[in-house]
Amino acid sequence: MRTVLISGASRGIGRAVAERALADGHRLSLGLRDLEALKQTPLDPDLAGSERVLLCPYAAEDPAAAQAWVEATNQHFGGFDSVIHSAGIFSRVPLLFEPGEEQDIAHTINVNLMGPWWLTRAAWPQLVAHGEGRIQVLVSMSGKRSKGRLAAYSASKFALLGLCQTMRNEGWAAGIRVTAICPGWVNTDMAAAVRSGPSDRWPTQSMDAEAMTQPEDLASMSAELLKLPNRAVPFELAVSSSLE
């Protein structure tokens, strides 16, 4: 059994990952903007039990929130050994952005890059102390290649993949294993927002929701990663439902 911090667990991939981790017997500390978002769901501590699930306020762009979440988890569970970064936002800002869109760029970088950086930094002593710490980061195929004109989003994800590589370097001797999970199209609200946006900023693609990778598919992969010994944890999982 592991004790896992999971960001972005209120919906989409993060929620599927959290529900699978709970079903597998792990203890969960979930960082959320809205603590009411999981009421009357399998992740509600009133239903799952406070000994299994802790909900903490967390905003990825706030470094103080990361530290407070870590401290609350230590107090509640007596420590933890794994972190899964699933919180992230989408941005349509292109290379030739309009005046005022630089604020969107900064916000995207703060959430998608600095959020995982701040949380990992706060969690690091616990991960080192365990000896077999785990970090999973939902990056995106947009951190490996750029399509269309979504400069801000792609830049944040390329930077995040670089950060994952450095996390791996820094934590290797202490037994921390890092996996960057890089999905393409996933059947989530974010994918729906991308596909409904201006086609000049992202290439159009005809794909039914059922043909996309499902959040539960990624949850299954995440679950297997938590079981693997230090000697067998992959650094990168590229998961695409289309030919690239």
In DSSP terms, 177 is beta-bridged to 134
Return the ∠ at Cα 64 (arms to 62 and 68), rounded to 5°. 120
Residue position matching structure tokens 């979440």: 69
153 catalytic, yes or no?
yes
Residue position matching structure tokens 């801000």: 152
Closest CA to 150 of 241, 61, 89, 240: 89
Contact residues for 130 (Cβ-Cβ < 8 A; gap 6+) = 79, 81, 175
- DSSP character string of 15-26: HHHHHHHHHTT-
- Determine which one of 153, 158, 185, 202 is catalytic: 153
Return the ∠ at Cα 64 (arms to 39 and 226), rounded to 5°. 60
Catalytic residues: 153
